[in-house]
């Protein structure tokens, strides 16, 4: 353990380095979050256990380059030190700092890189929301800046999964970032009801700070600022944002800070991500931003059991999460990014679709053949990533060439009662590809040949056609040409971290 990074009411964070690395090996670092339990009451212990479970659950179930990863979870085994014995330690990716620290160093000014940071936060938040979670404590202190400049959302101790229309959070949070309706919600048996739009309010507050160095509501104390926000929400005051904001960012923040949930829900995180990209592109005088990659490069950080010997404290591993170590293989020729775990980013995949492709390709992680690079290869082979493709003669539309009567069965739950009508935007088409591929894996698992190529062939035809042929049919010239193209794209997009590719069916 090397130096303290941060401390709060319930935990302390230290930087640490692996102590048993091989001579000459690359230095491996992590942040260790100590959640001590020795002097707490049973109610406090229950609260801490719940917060730890939330943090681990998000890391296990929601994977995105913009979300901080829990690398390992350990328990302190040190009977001689009752204050530490039995405490939990989370090993996390090590950040260079936080947006809050950067704002302090800016001494009342905004951050020069604020637009990119906001866009990256929006992308991560959109992915978290699509997975059904509420962050619950979004603020500059929980926006971490990595050594390469990329952004991570962190601290999921208050995160909660949406159950119906609400999630339920334990009492607490940071008042400057809580929407006015949160104060009026009663605390129920499961906690305080909260919607994902609460995160949008927090996004608006944080965006205002990042761009201007100022909070959007006046007041010397948090209580005074909460009163000002309540007056605005009730129509007794207007939203008076800092003059330093450009008009596009002013509208962006105002929409995040819509005074009530019903108005705010029109502006989900995915839509705000696209708007942030558009604002950035317009302010740079560039072409529309959706095809621009804003995630800064990042290198994966791995931490293993070597951290167990840190500072002489004996740590007993409870369970180990995937550490994302890169197997041997050719490294991508371009600079590494947070998406390199899922596909090569130097192969021409439009960055506007990165998040949707990751979402589609990770829906059934137990099926190795279904992957983000397979989804990307299918989209390339189907339409060359053309979101506006329209082929009425074949009854196929959109980036994934969906036939409406087929797409119906792979729409989100609750939207399958009628045949959808084109056009089919990428937000609809791409996740449906993942659902379709996952649904076919069990029917094809005994079929010889490349599982990836068999899935792609079934996507073009059906599982029955592939099963009867014992793999990719050889008597269909158009399908053969399609699979040959797909094979090229699989080679182009498969990341080094994927290891050895499946043998080809050819």
320 vs 97, residue with greater confidence: 97
Choose the final residue of a domain: 243, 263, 284.
284
Inside any domain, residue 358:
yes
Q: Is the pLDDT of residue 44 over 50?
A: yes
Supply the pLDDT for residue 53: 75
pLDDT value, residue 52? 73
Q: What is the pLDDT of residues 314-343, one digit of tens each?
A: 443 333 333 333 333 333 333 334 688 789
Q: Is the pLDDT of residue 438 over 70?
A: yes
List the CATH number of the domain containing 368: 1.10.530.10
Final residue before a domain boundary, out of 263, 284, 305: 284
Q: What whole-number distance in Å separates Cα of residue 294 and Cα of residue 290?
A: 10
- For 135-217, strand residue ranges (E) read 143-145, 151-153, 160-161, 167-169, 192-194
Which pLDDT score is estimated for 187?
65
CB 13 within 8 A of CB 142: no
The pLDDT score that the predictor gives to residue 30 is 85
Is residue 486 included in any domain, yes or no? yes
196, two tokens: 């994902």
SS3 of 265-285: CCCCHHHHHHHHHHHHHHHHC
Q: Are 91 and 307 in contact (CB under 8 A)?
A: yes
- How would residue 36 be classed by pLDDT, with cut points 50, 70 and 90? low
**Same domain membership, residue 154 and residue 70:** no
Assess whether 203 and 85 both reside in one domain. Answer: no
Is residue 423 reached through a cis peptide bond, with omega within 30 degrees of 0 on the bond before it?
yes
User: Is the domain of 34 the same as that of 129?
Assistant: no
* 152, 79: one domain: no
> 90 falls in which pLDDT band (50, 70, 90)?
confident
Domains contained in the chain, number: 3
For 20-24, the CB contacts below 8 A with 24+ separation are 20/306, 20/309, 21/306
Q: What is the mean pLDDT of residues 229-241?
A: 94
Residues 54 and 109 in one domain: no
pLDDT at 60: 76
Asked whether residue 383 falls in the same domain as residue 274, the answer is no
DSSP state of 291: G
Query: Can you give the pLDDT at residue 234?
Result: 92
Q: How far apart are CA 373 and CA 379, in angstroms?
A: 10
Per the domain annotation, does 379 fall within a domain?
A: yes
Q: What count of other Cβ atoms lies within 10 Å of the Cβ of residue 409?
A: 12
Q: Considering the domain boundaries, does residue 500 fall inside one?
A: no
- Whether 81 and 185 map to the same domain: the answer is no
H or E stretch including 231? helix 222-233
The per-residue pLDDT for range 169-193, each reduced to its tens digit, is 766 678 999 999 887 776 676 778 8
Q: Residue with structure tokens 């009451």?
A: 41
Looking at the structure, do residues 384 and 261 belong to the same domain, yes or no?
Answer: no
Instruction: Look at residue 8 in the predicted model and tell me its pLDDT.
Output: 65
Residue 19 pLDDT level (bands cut at 50, 70, 90): confident
Its domain, for residue 43, covers 6-93
In a domain, 41, yes or no: yes
Structure tokens at 461: 């035809």
Same structural domain, 21 and 127:
no
Question: Is 336 within a domain?
Answer: no
Instruction: Please indicate, yes or no, whether residues 52 and 10 belong to a single structural domain of this protein.
Output: yes
> Among residues 284, 315, 330, which one ends one of the domains?
284
The answer on 105 and 202 residing in a single domain is yes
Best CA proximity match to 208, nearest among 110, 102, 108: 110
Write the CATH number for 231: 1.10.510.10
> What's the angle, vertex CA 278, arms to CA 272 and CA 279, rounded to 5?
90
Region 373-391: mean pLDDT is 97
Rounded mean pLDDT of 14-24? 75
pLDDT digits (tens, 9 = 90+) for 444-454: 988 999 999 99
Most confident of 252-261, 296-305, 324-333: 252-261
Position 12 pLDDT exceeds 70: yes
Q: What is the mean pLDDT of the chain?
A: 82
- At residue 423, the pLDDT reads 94
What length is written for the chain?
506
Q: In this structure, are 135 and 260 located in the same domain?
A: yes
Report yes or no on 47 lying in a domain.
yes
Q: The CATH number of the domain where 19 resides is what?
A: 3.30.200.20
The answer to which of 151-160, 203-212, 224-233 has the lowest mean pLDDT is 151-160
pLDDT above 90 covers a percentage of the chain that reads 49
Residue 120's pLDDT is 92
What is the pLDDT, as a whole number, of residue 498?
A: 75
Does residue 485 fall inside a structural domain? Answer: yes
**What mean pLDDT comes out for the span 226-238?**
93
């Amino acid at each position: 353990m090397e130096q303290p990074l941060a401390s709060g009411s319930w935990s302390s964070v230290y930087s640490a380095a692996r102590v048993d690395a091989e001579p000459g090996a690359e230095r491996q670092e992590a942040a260790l979050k100590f959640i001590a339990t020795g002097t707490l009451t049973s109610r406090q212990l229950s609260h801490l256990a719940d917060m730890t479970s939330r943090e681990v659950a998000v890391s296990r179930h929601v994977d995105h380059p913009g979300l901080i990863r829990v690398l390992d979870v350990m328990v302190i085994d040190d009977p001689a030190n009752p204050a530490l014995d039995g405490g939990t330690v989370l090993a996390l990716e090590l950040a260079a700092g936080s947006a809050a620290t950067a704002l302090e160093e800016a001494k009342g000014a905004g951050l020069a890189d604020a637009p990119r940071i906001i866009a990256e936060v929006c992308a991560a938040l959109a992915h978290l929301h699509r997975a059904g979670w509420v962050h619950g404590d979004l603020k500059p202190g929980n926006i971490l800046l990595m050594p390469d400049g990329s952004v991570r959302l962190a601290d999921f101790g208050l995160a909660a999964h949406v159950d119906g229309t609400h999630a339920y959070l334990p009492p607490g949070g940071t008042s400057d970032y809580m929407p006015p309706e949160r104060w009026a919600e009663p605390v129920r048996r499961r906690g305080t009801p909260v919607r994902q739009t609460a995160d949008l309010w927090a996004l608006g507050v944080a965006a205002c700070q990042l761009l201007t160095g100022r909070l959007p509501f006046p007041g010397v104390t948090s209580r005074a600022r909460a009163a000002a926000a309540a007056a605005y929400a009730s129509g007794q005051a207007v939203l008076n944002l800092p003059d330093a904001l450009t008009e596009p960012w002013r509208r962006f923040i105002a929409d995040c800070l819509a005074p009530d949930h019903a108005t705010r829900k029109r502006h989900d995180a995915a839509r705000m991500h696209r708007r942030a990209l558009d604002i950035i592109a317009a302010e740079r005088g560039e072409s529309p931003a959706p095809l621009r990659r804003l995630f800064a490069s990042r290198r994966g950080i791995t931490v293993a059991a070597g951290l167990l010997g840190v500072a002489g404290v004996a740590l007993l591993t409870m369970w180990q999460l995937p550490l994302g170590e890169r197997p041997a293989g050719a490294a991508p020729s371009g600079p590494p990014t947070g998406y390199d775990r899922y596909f090569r980013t130097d192969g021409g995949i439009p960055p506007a679709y990165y998040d949707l492709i990751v979402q589609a390709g990770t829906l059934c992680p137990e099926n190795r053949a279904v992957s983000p690079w397979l989804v990307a290869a299918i989209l390339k082979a189907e339409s060359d990533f053309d979101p506006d493709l329209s082929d009425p003669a074949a009854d196929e539309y959109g980036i994934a060439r969906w036939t409406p009567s087929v797409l119906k069965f792979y729409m989100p739950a609750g939207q399958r009662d009628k045949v959808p009508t084109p056009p089919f935007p990428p937000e609809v088409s791409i996740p449906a590809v993942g659902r379709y591929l996952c649904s076919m894996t069990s029917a094809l698992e005994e079929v010889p040949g490349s599982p990836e190529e068999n899935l792609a062939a079934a996507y073009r035809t059906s599982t029955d056609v592939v099963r009867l042929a014992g793999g990719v049919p050889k008597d269909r010239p158009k399908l053969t040409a399609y699979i040959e193209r797909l094979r090229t794209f699989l080679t182009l997009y498969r990341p080094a971290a994927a290891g050895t590719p499946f043998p080809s069916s050819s």
